[in-house]
Amino acid sequence: MGDAMTRRPQPLLRLTLLLLLAAAPRAGAQAFTPQKGLFSLTTLYQLVDNTGHRMTDGFMLRDGQSVSMGALVEGEYGVTERLAVTLGLPFLMAKYHGVGPTPANLPVDSCRCWHSAFADFSGLVRYRFGGDDFAFTPAIGVTVPSHDYAYQGEAVVGRRLRELRIGGSIAGRPGFLPRAVVSATYSYSFVERDKVDIPNNRSNVSVDVAYPLGDRWTVRGNAAWQTTHGGLRFGSIAPNTFLPFPGEVNTPARFEEHDRLLRDNHSRIGGGLGYALDRVDLFAAFSMYVSGTDTHDGQSFTLGATWYFGGKASPK
């Protein structure tokens, strides 16, 4: 299976922050690169259930519930045995269904109806060092809004901010579990400052463990963390808090921009199952909130498939 790892990138679990389709590194950010001349096309469907908000002290505010659905089309090409390029674009739908009005009571939320649009283009270039059993792969990526979509409110498709990401992945086979592949990815995102000059860069870390169950089935588990370097804190509604609500969202300009500038720190865990055919990989995954501040609580579910064209078929 060592050769197959460099020929066909296995689908990673898709975690979500704004459907993670628009805001974080995806399957291309793993350490093993595809074979030269191999093109893969991934399509996936994802459902995100936001069950409430975590305040600055971690208190769960069961308000602001929303649901998002989306479809992603992503292509990856092996330029050489070590260099790979990935491009993707999601189409997202979002709907607010909370009991009460949102703080801004915007029409996008108060109608409690679906809103849909293409979100952000994503691009990634990565170069692999190492071989079949261990690899280190630096990467550089960009996120560019596809158009001037609405970003204020709960029922929106993204933050409409440009980003530059740098980072890398390592992966290998542990000696005590030689059939498994363990990988870790880190990225630092430089995020555009738009109307309010608030720093909002972030770090993302994920750890993924994949274990084959026979020749075709693969089970996965992973964990992911996000730390925002800057951003606005919304404070807490609890008594005697060190930062009473609305915290640092304390001017009209900051309130107008708070939906995309909060100090979103969180951790999530997930799992998934994949099934490999000769030229198609099918996969299903889930992700759930563990802890965080100034973030959404909830879970996501993903179904998808990756088709492979060109290159050489992987042995079964």
Residue 234 included in any domain: yes
Residue 143 included in any domain: yes
- For residues 242 and 232, what is the distance between their CA atoms, to the nearest angstrom? 15
Give the CATH number of the domain where residue 11 resides: 2.40.128.130
Closest alpha carbon to 168 in 223, 118, 205: 205
* Tally of structural domains, the chain: 1
pLDDT at position 15 is 32
Residue 57 included in any domain: yes
Q: Are 261 and 198 in contact (CB under 8 A)?
A: yes
pLDDT at position 49 is 96
pLDDT at position 24 is 36
120 by DSSP, 3-state: which? strand
pLDDT at position 86 is 97
Residue 316 included in any domain: no
pTM, rounded to two decimals? 0.88
Residue 165 included in any domain: yes
Residue 315 included in any domain: no
Q: What angle do CA 253, 257, 258 make, to 5 degrees?
A: 110
Residue 61 included in any domain: yes
Q: Could you say which residues of the chain have pLDDT below 50? A: 1-29, 314-316
283 by DSSP, 3-state: which? strand
Q: Which two tokens stand for residue 215?
A: 């020749």
Domain containing residue 73: 2-309
Q: Which two tokens stand for residue 5?
A: 């790892």
- For residues 137 and 33, what is the distance between their CA atoms, to the nearest angstrom? 8
Residue 314 included in any domain: no
* DSSP class of 313: P
259 by DSSP, 3-state: which? helix
